[in-house]
Chain A
Amino acid sequence: MNNIEGKIWLFGDDINTDLMYPQVCYTLKEEEKPFYAMSANRPGWSKMVNHGDIIVAGRNFGTGSSRPAADNIKNLGISCVIAESINGLFLRNSVNSGFLALTVPGIVDAVDEGDLLYIDLKNNTVINKSNNKKINFKPLPQFLMDIIENGGIINILRNKGLLGWPL
């Protein structure tokens, strides 16, 4: 996977799935869904996101439901989530959607909103280019990186011929 560079949006602790993908999204058109991300806690934010931006957040990111929250912020253009800790279901959904979510303890104190962050996936280091702070992190197991690099689980199943026709 290529290294990532992007501008930071900073969020707090316990950012839940229902904020990223409100209930109303389920029956919207695909292209409309991403704009509802964080509409309850940060109205107007989704329209300010540029392709490649990064979310940095506090503890317990993605707590909540099975809903496709990771897809929704990925489809909004977010390239990666970096948090102090990440809910296990959100991490699974990210991996299975081919989206990178990394646990990097200490990240919140090393950044301000709007900083430029560089994620070096070969050396497992994040570098804040705005203040030159550097943090090493424990990479995701290769087993999970392989799913991400293959574009997620649906892609893998499709390539194996395991998916069928519309119901």
Chain B
Amino acid sequence: MNIIEKILRNHSVEDIPEVSPGDIVTVNVDRAIITDMAALHPEFINEPPVKPFDNNKIAVIFDHFVPPPNIEISNRINRLRKLVDLWNIRDFYDAGRGGISHVIAAEKGFLKPGSLIANTDSHTIAVGAFNTVGRGLGTPEIMNIIATGKTWFVTGDTIRVDLNGNMNSNASYRDVFFNIAGTTGDIPNNNIEFHGDGIKHITMDGRSSISTMCAEISAEFSVFPYDGVLKNYMDNINIYDYKAIEPDNNTHYYKTYDIDLNKIEPMIALPDRIINNIKPVSEINKTEISVAVVGSCANGRLSDLRDVSSVLKNHRVSRNVRFIVTPASQEIYNEALRLGYIDTIIKSDALVTNPTCGACLGGHMGVVGDGDTVISSTTRNFKGRMGSSRANIYLASAKTVAASAVKGYISGDLSE
């Protein structure tokens, strides 16, 4: 069995020796996460589960609409907030105390290697960086999980992706993902397991960025192996009670791809989709932009803010561009302040917002208008995703976004 099959087997409600592709497995969930999006689902706030299967295994994390942008959403989130007392929820992260759920889940030690996570957000596949399985689920489904502690998965075929070598300094982990997407194409119902000698150089931020974006090729689960980098992360947050999972020696994979990290260059996704729509930034003709965004569960992390700050140092954002930078969590925000990144960013005329999913979903804190051309490190470039359906959204790494914000047009590098 591979890592994903073993984690499913270990969580199976029935005692089963093995899990294979095609099997439907009913599993016990280790941790269920509810975000403020639940408040926007009438079924949840009108008919919430009577009681949770285990209140200490549920976290409530407000992230999409922090702080609420209008009265309607504010009222609904106030209703959802009542659950925290009603169910006596210990792990509650309100505005000012948390950030994007996938990032908070990592910081607070919810993502124990070998575990199984349920979260309504569609980028829950992010947890794979932690040798953990999870995928996006719908709100009605999370209601079932809250009530019963269980859900089901149909086991898919698993693709092995070997990341070999070491990245050049001008490329980012986001570019690694674009390369993977260009290699595998869309893979609905299939899993990705990462291996290769290059993984040991990839930070937890990098693994999280890659794993998060695997949602965009419709992967079911993505998972990284357990190694020294992950062990150090867990040690640093004092989490030791877990059992990491390795694949069996003789594991057969459905397909195997090799990615040479040395050859990765800055990439960009053109508007409306990622699949079959990616190019090297160097091949893009001069394209003027009006909005630049760095943020989200994929690329609003400390290393992204570091990249933005190092590009912006001694430069100013083009007067034709509004550059919105959104740290993914309060902890990241705080650390970026301490390290001077925020100081550099705001002195370059970029706007720093509080942690939120905000601009990525076109919710608030950067909604774009008709005719805007956007370059963003967020997760999706669907038509209308970030606001107007008459805006064009390009996706790229934080580094490329920052360089483009300074130049006023799409550019992978200030020296170009």
Please report A residues at the B interface, Cβ cutoff 8 Å: 13-14, 16-19, 22-23, 26-27, 30, 39-41, 59-60, 63-66, 68, 85-89, 92-93, 96-97, 141, 143-144, 152-154, 156-158, 161-167
Contacts and interface: CB of A to CB of B under 8 A. Distances in A.
24 contacts: A19-B384, A23-B361, A26-B40, A27-B40, A30-B42, A60-B188, A64-B382, A65-B122, A65-B361, A66-B121, A66-B137, A85-B186, A86-B188, A87-B188, A88-B156, A89-B135, A89-B138, A92-B141, A96-B138, A97-B138, A97-B140, A156-B144, A164-B48, A167-B46
Contacts of A19: 382-384
Interface string B120-154: 11100000000000011111110110011000101
A89 B389 contact: no
A146 to B, nearest CB: 11
Contacts of A16: 273, 380, 382
Interface stretch (B76-84, B200-208, B242-250): B76-84
Contacts, number: 143
A41 B49 CA distance: 37
Interface residues of B, number: 56
B163 to A, nearest CB: 23
B182 interface: no
Contacts of A60: 186, 188, 218, 275
Interface of B: 24, 37, 40-43, 45-51, 70, 72-73, 79-80, 82-83, 86, 120-122, 135-141, 143-144, 147-148, 152, 154, 156, 186, 188-189, 216, 218, 220, 273, 275, 361-363, 380, 382-385, 387, 389
Contacts of A88: 135, 154, 156, 188-189, 218, 220
A23 B49 CA distance: 26
Contacts of B148: 162
A157 B218 contact: no
A27 B218 contact: no
A73 to B, nearest CB: 14
A166 B186 contact: no
B139 A68 contact: yes
Given A26-B40, A88-B188, A158-B47, 14 more contacts: A16-B382, A60-B186, A60-B218, A66-B139, A68-B138, A87-B218, A89-B122, A89-B138, A92-B141, A96-B140, A143-B24, A157-B144, A162-B50, A165-B47
B384 A18 contact: yes
A30 to B, nearest CB: 7
Given A14-B273, A85-B188, A22 B48 contact: no
Given A14-B186, A26-B40, A60-B188, A41 B383 contact: yes
A144 B22 CA distance: 13
A27 B48 CA distance: 19
B218 A18 contact: no
A96 B139 CA distance: 10
B102 to A, nearest CB: 13
A16 B361 CA distance: 13
Contacts of A14: 186, 273, 275
Contacts of B383: 18-19, 40-41
